[in-house]
Amino acid sequence: MSAPSTPSGAAATIGFDDFLKADIRVGTIVEAAPYPEARKPAIKLTIDFGGAIGLKKSSAQITRHYRPEDLPGRQVLAVVNFPPRQIGKFMSEVLTLGVPDADGEVVLIAPGLPVPDGGRMF
């Protein structure tokens, strides 16, 4: 696997087949709760990806720009085919995607218009 990109440069070039290995889907947040036990401030999310994928959980370090009560109903993009990862006492099943703002804080990635849950990014 190539090294991730850094603020100072891009990651190594990959082939299109490598890109297709990452299953990135859109889902709607149905529940959000504070996760004060996490080492870094985080919010526990339950995201509905519809169809065969269904509900998945994610721990996201998004507390700078988002409050749990404002997140249900919001669509987000997530990698759904990584293995689950233990985050403290919480099992995160998907990687919710974001990009850093000017201060390095996470801003969620979402479609610009409503789309059906479970749609794969291409």
Query: pLDDT tens string for the chain (122 positions)?
Result: 334 445 568 899 999 999 999 999 999 999 999 998 888 899 999 999 999 999 999 999 999 999 999 999 999 999 999 999 999 899 999 999 999 999 999 999 999 999 999 999 99
Q: Please state the domain count of the chain.
A: 1
The answer to whether position 87 is within a domain reads yes
The answer to whether position 41 is within a domain reads yes
The answer to whether position 113 is within a domain reads no
Place of tokens 């603020």: 7
The answer to whether position 94 is within a domain reads yes
The answer to whether position 83 is within a domain reads yes
Place of tokens 């990651």: 11
The answer to whether position 44 is within a domain reads yes
Q: Token digits for 92?
A: 């995160």
Place of tokens 């804080």: 105
- CATH number of the domain that residue 33 is part of: 2.40.50.140
How far is 28 from 55, CA to CA, in rounded Å?
9
pTM metric for this prediction = 0.90
Burial class (CB in 10 A: 0-12, 13-18, 19+), 12: exposed
Domain that holds residue 73: 17-108
3-state class of 115 per DSSP? Answer: coil
The answer to whether position 38 is within a domain reads yes
Q: What stretches of 2-121 adopt beta strand conformation (E)?
A: 24-35, 42-48, 55-60, 75-79, 85-87, 90-92, 95-96, 98-100, 106-108
The answer to whether position 10 is within a domain reads no
pLDDT for 37 equals: 86
